[in-house]
């Protein structure tokens, strides 16, 4: 039986690093993200949701800072014999309400996520049950071997059962709405920050939790104001005037470059994600793989990288080598970058069963991400060289997520930034390409391919690194053969920031970074310098 314990260095750090008293001067960190911010941790899935979840709630494990793997957090150790995982919980953790955290809270959090069936609940499809062995011990029973299980636990935030049970809303059955109404506006976690007000379209305000079990350093912000949906021009002005601290990652490159020239620092995060141009395989003409391969070969990858360059050394992306970002299981080497091949594109188009003169492609871009319009225009120009006509349509995020629930309403081409929500390739690739996942914002391809499904399922059950590498390499090769997507670039998130904040986890130092998007925004690890 394998056993995992909290490393000695981490235990000493937890006991000693965060024990100071609050600074006399109240500090405020101000940042922004794309709306809307989903506060209910059972529904969280997007980037803004992740920032809220990682600060308001805690999980049994955390990604290891500065390297691969996971370390205990609310748990102090775990054991596994294959399909059963047993966790020993810390005995010094209380919720923000003052209620002690126990095994019953862990079981409740799991049961609630499964019952809601929203957000990232699909991560736990292979978990039959969670049970409280005693007050400090939890057992998870899996239906079959599932290699990414420990990684998945970074997306199981632990909720205050007693508080939620006191605030159940109307609904079917004994549990009513499972506290959805309450948790959409209030926090019920153990996290380092607690919510004082929440408007999912405008702003969430958080304050440090003085009773956090690891403590919060004096230099960390006292208050955090997370704003939603600010225009790029507004963010630029606010940062220049010293009234904003960290931009979202969605600013156009030239705006970030301008802010950097004016003295702003550039923060960065690489968390296992990419920019995917999705092709709807369920309706003509992109139900023909030859037509898709024509578009994939006609796309100008090098021009796309230039469009996201900020300085000579910093860009919002690096060249793609295939369907899997460099560094993950199954990825091609960094030297094997994708390049445009117009002659191959013409040959594939000649083999396509559709005549390009008889169709017009719909190319969509997300209205809240202006950068995508440039890629839409690039594709339109690239495809025109093949004689393919296209129309560009701006689609608000909320409308896009509704459209893709039906293949006939889904655009021929969509643009999506996707990341591995647990740091494991399974959570990047399975929700996009397994046939069972069709009809979400991550999977507007509506791909249905037996070889792809088999490789993804193998990647979930292989228990060795070599086995998982082989499974995902097979998956990568198959996707390059049938081209359900154009793999534009491996993503690197760049944020413009004032010099009032120091964020080591976003500094570009690999020893400080987390391999999980959003985790770098753990506010307790930031410092307000006052400069």
**The predicted structure's pLDDT at residue 14:** 41
DSSP 8-state secondary structure symbol assigned to residue 168? -
Give CA–CA dist 371/362, Å, rounded.
18
Residue 529 has pLDDT above 70, yes or no: yes
pLDDT, tens digit (0-9, with 9 covering 90-100), for 245-264: 999 998 888 999 999 999 99
The average pLDDT across 90-104 equals: 98
**The predicted structure's pLDDT at residue 421:** 85
Give CA–CA dist 519/155, Å, rounded.
11
Q: Helix, strand, or coil here: 260?
A: helix
Supply the angle between the helices 450-461 and 465-482 in degrees, to the nearest 10.
160
Q: What are the domain boundaries of the chain?
A: 2-228, 273-491
Please provide the distance, in angstroms rounded to a whole number, between the alpha carbons at the two ends of the chain. 52
pLDDT level of residue 276 (50, 70, 90 thresholds)? very high
Residues in the chain: 531
**The predicted structure's pLDDT at residue 120:** 87
**The predicted structure's pLDDT at residue 271:** 67
Q: Which fold has domain 273-491?
A: Dipeptide-binding Protein; domain 3 (3.10.105)
**The predicted structure's pLDDT at residue 78:** 96
pLDDT level of residue 10 (50, 70, 90 thresholds)? very low
Peptide bond into 338 cis (omega under 30): no
Phi, psi of 334 (to 5 degrees): -60, -25
The average pLDDT across 126-135 equals: 96
- Cα 509 versus chain centre, distance: 20
Residue 302 has pLDDT above 90, yes or no: yes
Query: Residues 7, 11, 13, 16: what is their CA dihedral angle, to the nearest 10 degrees?
Result: -160
**The predicted structure's pLDDT at residue 419:** 87
Neighbours of 237 (CB within 10 A): 13
Give CA–CA dist 367/398, Å, rounded.
10
Summary mean pLDDT of the chain: 91
Q: Within 13 Å and on the Cβ side, how many CA atoms surround 297?
A: 19
pLDDT, tens digit (0-9, with 9 covering 90-100), for 136-154: 999 999 998 898 999 999 9
Give CA–CA dist 526/521, Å, rounded.
8
Name, of 128-132, 230-234, 488-492, the range with top average pLDDT: 128-132
Give CA–CA dist 497/242, Å, rounded.
10
**The predicted structure's pLDDT at residue 17:** 39
pLDDT level of residue 287 (50, 70, 90 thresholds)? very high
**The predicted structure's pLDDT at residue 23:** 41
Give CA–CA dist 324/334, Å, rounded.
11
Residue 29 has pLDDT above 50, yes or no: yes
The average pLDDT across 284-298 equals: 98
Instruction: Give exposure, 485-503, as e/b (b: 16+ Cβ within 10 Å).
Output: bbbbbbbbbbbbbbebbbb
The average pLDDT across 335-355 equals: 97
Residue 383 has pLDDT above 70, yes or no: yes
Neighbours of 101 (CB within 10 A): 25
**The predicted structure's pLDDT at residue 315:** 87
pLDDT level of residue 398 (50, 70, 90 thresholds)? confident
Give the pTM.
Answer: 0.81
| ∠ CA 45-51-53, rounded to 5° | 65
Peptide bond into 36 cis (omega under 30): yes
Give CA–CA dist 294/284, Å, rounded.
14
CATH number of 2-228: 3.40.190.10
């Amino acid at each position: 039986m394998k056993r995992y314990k909290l490393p000695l260095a981490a235990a000493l750090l937890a006991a000693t690093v965060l024990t100071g008293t609050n600074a006399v001067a109240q500090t405020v960190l101000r940042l922004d993200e794309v709306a809307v911010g989903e506060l209910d941790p059972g529904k969280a899935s997007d980037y803004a949701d992740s920032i809220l979840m990682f600060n308001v709630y805690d999980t049994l494990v955390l990604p290891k800072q500065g390297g691969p793997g996971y370390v205990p957090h609310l748990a102090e150790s775990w054991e596994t014999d294959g399909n059963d995982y047993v966790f020993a919980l810390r005995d010094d953790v209380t919720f923000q309400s003052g209620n002690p955290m126990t095994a019953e809270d862990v079981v409740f959090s799991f049961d609630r996520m499964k019952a809601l069936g929203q957000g990232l609940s699909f991560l736990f499809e292979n978990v039959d049950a969670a049970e409280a062995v005693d007050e400090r011990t939890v057992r998870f029973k899996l239906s079959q071997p599932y290699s990414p299980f420990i990684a998945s636990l970074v997306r199981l935030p632990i909720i205050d059962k007693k508080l939620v049970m006191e605030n159940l809303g109307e609904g079917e059955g004994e549990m009513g709405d499972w506290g959805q109404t309450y948790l959409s506006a209030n926090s019920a976690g153990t996290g380092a920050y607690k919510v004082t007000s929440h408007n999912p379209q405008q702003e969430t305000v958080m304050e440090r939790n003085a009773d956090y079990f690891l403590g919060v350093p004096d230099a960390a912000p006292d208050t955090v104001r997370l704003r939603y949906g600010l225009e790029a021009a507004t963010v630029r002005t606010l940062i220049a005037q010293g009234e904003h601290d960290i931009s979202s990652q969605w600013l156009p490159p030239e705006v970030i470059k301008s802010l950097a020239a004016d003295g702003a620092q550039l923060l960065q995060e690489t968390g296992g994600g990419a920019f995917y141009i999705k092709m709807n395989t369920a309706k003509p003409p992109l139900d023909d793989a030859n037509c898709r391969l024509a578009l994939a070969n006609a796309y100008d990858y090098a021009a796309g990288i230039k469009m996201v360059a900020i300085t000579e050394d910093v860009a919002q992306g690096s060249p793609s080598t295939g369907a899997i970002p460099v560094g993950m299981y199954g990825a091609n080497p960094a030297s094997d970058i994708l390049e445009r091949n117009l002659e191959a594109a013409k040959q594939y188009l000649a083999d396509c069963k559709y005549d390009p003169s008889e169709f017009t492609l719909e190319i969509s871009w997300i209205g809240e991400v202006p950068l995508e319009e440039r890629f839409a225009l690039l594709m339109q120009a690239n495809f025109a060289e093949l004689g393919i006509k296209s129309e560009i349509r701006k689609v608000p995020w909320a409308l896009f997520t509704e459209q893709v629930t039906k293949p006939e309403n889904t655009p021929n081409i969509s643009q999506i930034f996707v990341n591995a929500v647990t740091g494991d390739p399974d959570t990047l690739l399975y929700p996009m390409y397994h046939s069972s996942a069709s009809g979400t914002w991550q999977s507007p391809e509506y791909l249905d391919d037996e070889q792809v499904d088999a490789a993804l399922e193998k990647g979930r059950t292989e228990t060795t690194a070599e086995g998982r590498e082989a499974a995902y390499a097979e998956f990568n090769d198959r996707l390059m053969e049938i081209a359900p997507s154009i793999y534009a670039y491996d993503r690197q998130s760049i944020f413009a920031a004032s010099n009032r904040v120091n964020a080591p986890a976003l500094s570009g130092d690999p020893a400080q970074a987390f391999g999980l998007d959003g985790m770098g925004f753990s506010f307790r690890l930031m410092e307000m310098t006052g400069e």
